[in-house]
Amino acid sequence: MFSFKTKLVAYSTAATVVFGIASYKLLEKDGVARDQKNEVLTKVLVQGLSSAHYSPERLDDEFSKHAFDLYLERLDYNKKFLLQPDVNQLKTYQTQLDDEFKNGSFKFFDLSMSLFKNRLKEAEGYYKEILDKPFNFDQDETIEVKPENIKFAATPAALKEEWRKYLKYQALIRVADAVDSQEKADTAGSKEPKKSLPEIEADARKKLRENYDDLFKRMNQLENEDWRSTYLNSFANVYDPHTEYFAPKEKEDFDYEFSGRLEGIGAVLQEKDGFIRVSEITPGSPSYLQGDLKPGDLILKVAQGDQAPVDIQGMRIDKAVSLIRGKKGTEVRLTVKKVDGTMKVISIIRDVVVREEGYAKSLLIKGAKPIGYIHLPGFYADFKNAGGRNSGKDVAEEIQKLKQENAQGIILDLRNNGGGSLQDVVDMVGLFIKSGPVVQVKSANGPAAVLEDRDPQVQFGGPLVVLVNENSASASEILAAAIQDYKRGVIVGSSTYGKGTVQQFFDLDQVLPASFDAVKPLGHLKLTTQKYYRISGKTVQLRGVTPDVTLPDTYTYLKYGEKEQDYALPFDEIQGAKFSAWGSPAVPFEKVKESSKKRINSSPTFSLINQAALQLKERTEQSTRSLKLSTYLAQERANQAQAKKLEDARKTIPALDVATLKVDVSKLAADTAASARFQAFTRNAKKDLYIQEAVSIIKDIL
């Protein structure tokens, strides 16, 4: 259920681009050497990138420098293997990689592997020697934790010292966690025997030793071919962060998420700067239903049931995925670093995704003037089955059900909605406007194509609020942008992700003639082939959609979204489409903004959220951490106290009076499991501060 998936508008598989290496001849039909396969692969990638990418790059010295920097960063992100003399040696190729890429040469890559593997053996000796001796956590000592601020060590002795501090920091985290857990258990009256600090420290080093034994064993088993995708993607990602090469096995991992029965935990992972980051939670999955794992969390360790956890920091994503996947009914325990910096162990029972949980569902918020609430986790569509479910049709049905219960306004919740079917966006916007353009889609050459709602019927003409956040991406941004441009409703929340590009998959085996069968399979290339634009002419690329009413949240002051990706395509504008803004009845935007601002400023909970966001920003900007146990524990307990203060404040929020729609009551009564899941959905909605503010905004409009 994991993949390399990023936030996309749409995907399709095609082999229509002429990759143009038909004149290349294989030297042998059978038993083709690795070098020849690599040469064919790089040539076909160059042709594909040059001919089909939305914004092709010039393969010159500047491009070469960018590719070099990306590869070096990914090869040794934490700067714990290579020495500065190694980097200097590699830099002699810094402006030659474009030529090697075009010619199918792997000289630089082979040199990098030779240097890296030699240093890997040396580092194996460092960690074993260091972890044989106890750490002194009473010393006033600090460590730099931001890799961009760390320099490559000049000598083996200097690198060994870096390893000492690095391992001490990891041991400190484990010791602090154990001390904290033991004190909490003691407060709760636990009869479990307490361990002394030296015993806790020894346990931490033992577990670290086991983790690093396993890590180095796996790394020593890797061959050059296993690193090839990392190297090739250093070229592909200079084009943009969503253009990627997938080796055959990696494409299988990607497709796994879209198979009929998905067994696992239901999180979409992304490898970023040496960490495995949760980029998306699959609606209806075990992670979604359990509720603790969130986008932005970093997974540091993975344990099977009650077994010892395996450290996955620095691990390739396909290897991490293999540890996290598992059979239905088995337990996986994830050690996670939350966005607020706190550590948490999350236990999830693997299961099959409950697809119904990914579909649109609604509630009625009771009052003198009832208000409808629709939750849409994704823009889904069954492209293989003509009679299958799609989000546009489902939302239309939910609106009809709400109208039957006299809903006077509607809240459409697109928070954490990563996108999906473009056609469903057009259909959905059409439910709220008479007719007109919804989005413009532009390829590299030629004018933009305007996708329009051609149905003059308005299914719901009352007050509309669209809830968004920083994880609302792609199709969600198209819908929010269209509603905003038409002045049809109020966009509420935080600025969206800012991804305005469309990707397409190309099967490299399909674009090559049969004469190349000896080097197949080659894998797939995912290319950015289009950008989409608002009907006003602006793209959401980098900037996202800025809400009409901005509400504080945890991410408010963090660097987040597409704009933080390396080599993201730029923001730009094209000519706007012709459309008429919604005018009857007009939304009183200024009144709404003024009233909402007063409520936010007077809300103790929103004030606490804003304080937490500011403190999180401050913590993320601090690049050093103390290696003294007492100092570290004090900082962690301050973070926990702030988190608990906010959690307690959320508990005091008055509950909304919500009801299941009458037509759904009988359906849920016949399905006990579905009824239990719907009750959990209802409980969460009742105490959701953001839904409550959306309700107040609709009341202001009414």
Q: What is the pLDDT of residues 544-600, one digit of tens each?
A: 999 999 999 988 888 888 999 999 999 999 999 999 999 888 999 999 999 999 999
484 shares its domain with 411:
yes
424 shares its domain with 286:
no
Tell whether 8 is covered by a domain.
no
Phi, psi of 443 (to 5 degrees): -90, 180
Fill in the DSSP letter of residue 96: T
Phi-psi region of 329 (alpha: psi -120 to 50; beta: other; left: phi over 0): left
Report residue 388's pLDDT band, with 50, 70 and 90 as the boundaries: confident
Please give the Cα distance from 207 to 308 (Å, whole number): 8
Please give the Cα distance from 671 to 604 (Å, whole number): 40
Tell whether 674 is covered by a domain.
yes
Tell whether 522 is covered by a domain.
no
Please give the Cα distance from 452 to 437 (Å, whole number): 4
CA angle, residues 323, 325, 329, in degrees to nearest 5: 120
348 shares its domain with 459:
no
202 shares its domain with 309:
no
77 shares its domain with 96:
yes
Find the mean pLDDT for residues 314-332. 80
The pLDDT tens digits of the residues spanning 27-77 come to 444 444 567 888 899 999 999 999 999 999 999 999 999 999 999 999 999
312 shares its domain with 179:
no
- CB under 8 A, 24+ apart: contacts of 329-333: 330/304, 330/305, 331/304, 331/305, 332/265, 332/302, 332/303, 332/304, 332/305, 333/302, 333/303, 333/304, 333/305, 333/309
Tell whether 249 is covered by a domain.
no
Provide the residue range defining the domain that includes 315: 262-352
The predicted pLDDT at position 677 comes to: 81
386 shares its domain with 426:
yes
CATH of the domain at 432: 3.90.226.10
Could you tell me which of 402, 387, 421 has the C-alpha nearest to residue 459?
402
Q: Is 224 helix (H, G, I), strand (E, B) or coil?
A: helix
Tell whether 584 is covered by a domain.
yes
Token pair of 545 as six digits: 């959609």
The predicted pLDDT at position 105 comes to: 92
What's the domain count of the chain? 4
Tell whether 44 is covered by a domain.
no
Q: Which residues contact 283 (CB under 8 A, 6 or more apart)?
A: 357, 358, 359, 377, 378
Q: Which residues contact 27 (CB under 8 A, 6 or more apart)?
A: 36
CA angle, residues 506, 509, 513, in degrees to nearest 5: 120
Tell whether 214 is covered by a domain.
yes
Please give the Cα distance from 48 to 268 (Å, whole number): 27
Q: Is 439 helix (H, G, I), strand (E, B) or coil?
A: strand
The shares of helix, strand and coil residues in the chain, as percent rounded to the nearest 5, are 45, 15, 40
pLDDT at 11 over 70: no
Please give the Cα distance from 91 to 85 (Å, whole number): 10
379 shares its domain with 417:
yes
The pLDDT tens digits of the residues spanning 194-247 come to 899 999 999 999 989 988 888 898 888 888 878 898 899 999 999 999 999 988
Please give the Cα distance from 678 to 361 (Å, whole number): 9
Tell whether 403 is covered by a domain.
yes
Please give the Cα distance from 167 to 141 (Å, whole number): 13
Phi-psi region of 211 (alpha: psi -120 to 50; beta: other; left: phi over 0): alpha
Phi, psi of 142 (to 5 degrees): -130, 165
- 581, 433 in Cβ contact below 8 A? no
Question: What are the DSSP E strand ranges found in 128-195?
Answer: 142-144
218 shares its domain with 277:
no
The predicted pLDDT at position 316 comes to: 67
The pLDDT tens digits of the residues spanning 440-488 come to 999 998 899 999 999 999 999 999 999 999 999 999 999 999 999 999 9
The pLDDT tens digits of the residues spanning 594-638 come to 999 999 999 999 999 999 889 888 888 888 999 999 999 998 888
- 503 has which bridge partners? 528
Phi, psi of 675 (to 5 degrees): -65, -40
Of the three residues 331, 352, 373, the one that is the final residue of a domain is: 352
167 shares its domain with 233:
yes
Token pair of 81 as six digits: 């293997």
545 shares its domain with 591:
yes
Q: What average pLDDT does the structure give for the chain? A: 87
- 255, 274 in Cβ contact below 8 A? no
Report residue 19's pLDDT band, with 50, 70 and 90 as the boundaries: low
563 shares its domain with 620:
no
- 5, 257 in Cβ contact below 8 A? yes
Fill in the DSSP letter of residue 629: H
């580092």: which residue's tokens?
A: 123
Token pair of 85 as six digits: 């003399």
The pLDDT tens digits of the residues spanning 345-385 come to 899 988 876 667 788 999 999 999 999 999 999 898 876 66
Q: Sign (positive/negative) of CA torsion 607, 611, 614, 616?
A: negative
